[in-house]
């Protein structure tokens, strides 16, 4: 019962934080900058949680789970660094409210931000791969391959649909990279204990598709 109550409290706190962040973004004069500040704080906390778990001594955790904690912590720590680079860029360029491709090409700081964030995807896959190995899923190889293809195909298919509506080809990279992560989570979902986690990850990742759709339609991201 205590575990259920703790879980319920976590859900309530998460929803309250999300609503508060949305309200702040909606009223901000510089939404992109505020968004990066919020993300930077959240990802810093996530990175600390992961690394704290890795460095804590516990005999109840397996070596694979410790590796998951390490790469989970590294992933979000790296993303937090990229967020703070973006925040620094906006502070140095207060006239810029939306960053375009040309802005990235002309700014070594934004190029570094993009490169660092790209590296985080490698650590993310390693983190969840170790998590997957730790689960020791009993499903056969064929079932796991099908689960991966269904997860990947679902997400990549939606990205192709958005591409047809917006013409924004950058959605393809998102569809491939995040689609592969969705595929991995579809395999992880074969373990009953992780299905709720997979649903959360799917919903969170779908937000990125919606953001790319809004950008492709030249709409304000805050409306989403």
User: Helix (H, G, I), strand (E, B), or coil: what is residue 1?
Assistant: coil
- pLDDT tens for 15-49 read 787 788 778 877 778 777 888 888 889 899 999 99
Boundary-marking domain end, from 115, 136, 157: 136
**116 and 12 fall within a common domain:** yes
Contact present, 80 and 123 (Cβ < 8 Å): no
**124 and 147 fall within a common domain:** no
pLDDT of residue 215: 67
Q: Is the dihedral of CA 121, 152, 18, 94 positive or negative?
A: positive
**121 and 222 fall within a common domain:** no
Model confidence at 88: pLDDT above 70: yes
Choice among 48-52, 89-93, 167-171 with the minimum mean pLDDT = 167-171
201 is written with which tokens? 């990850």
**95 and 176 fall within a common domain:** no
Boundary-marking domain end, from 98, 113, 136: 136
Number of domains within the chain: 2
Only one residue has tokens 């570094």, namely 112
* Domain residue limits at 112: 1-136
CA distances from 59 to 15, 63, 127, 137, 156 (A): 33, 10, 20, 22, 40
Contact present, 127 and 71 (Cβ < 8 Å): yes
Q: Is the dihedral of CA 153, 77, 49, 18 positive or negative?
A: negative
State the Cα–Cα distance between residues 158 and 175, nearest whole angstrom.
8
Boundary-marking domain end, from 101, 120, 136: 136
User: Helix (H, G, I), strand (E, B), or coil: what is residue 58?
Assistant: coil
Model confidence at 1: pLDDT above 50: no
**50 and 9 fall within a common domain:** yes
pLDDT of residue 112: 85
Only one residue has tokens 């925040």, namely 87
**107 and 169 fall within a common domain:** no
**1 and 74 fall within a common domain:** yes
Which of 112, 123, 117 lies closest to 181 in space, CA to CA? 123
**150 and 195 fall within a common domain:** yes
**37 and 62 fall within a common domain:** yes
Q: How many CB atoms lie within 10 A of CB 132?
A: 20
State the Cα–Cα distance between residues 122 and 116, nearest whole angstrom.
10
Model confidence at 80: pLDDT above 90: yes
Contact present, 103 and 138 (Cβ < 8 Å): no
Please compute the mean of the pLDDT values over residues 165-191 and round it to a whole number.
83
pLDDT of residue 218: 66
């Amino acid at each position: 019962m205590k575990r259920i109550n703790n879980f319920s409290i976590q859900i309530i706190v998460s929803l309250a934080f999300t609503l508060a962040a949305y309200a702040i973004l909606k009223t901000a004069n510089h939404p992109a900058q505020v968004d990066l500040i919020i993300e930077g704080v959240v990802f810093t906390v996530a990175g600390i949680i992961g690394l704290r778990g890795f460095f804590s001594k516990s005999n109840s955790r397996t070596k694979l789970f410790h590796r998951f904690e390490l790469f989970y912590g590294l992933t979000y720590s790296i993303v937090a660094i990229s967020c703070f680079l973006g925040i620094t860029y906006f502070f140095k360029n207060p006239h810029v409210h939306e960053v375009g491709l040309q802005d990235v090409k002309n700014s070594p700081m934004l190029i570094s931000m993009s490169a660092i964030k790209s590296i985080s995807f490698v650590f993310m896959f390693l983190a969840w791969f170790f998590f997957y190995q730790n689960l020791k899923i009993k499903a056969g190889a064929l079932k796991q391959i099908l689960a991966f293809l269904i997860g990947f195909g679902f997400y990549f298919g939606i990205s192709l649909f958005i591409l047809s509506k917006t013409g924004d080809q950058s959605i393809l990279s998102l569809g491939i990279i995040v689609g592969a992560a969705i595929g991995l989570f579809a395999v992880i979902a074969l373990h009953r204990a992780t299905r709720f986690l997979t649903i959360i990850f799917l919903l969170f990742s779908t937000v990125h598709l919606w953001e790319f759709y809004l950008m492709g339609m030249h709409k304000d991201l805050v409306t989403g």
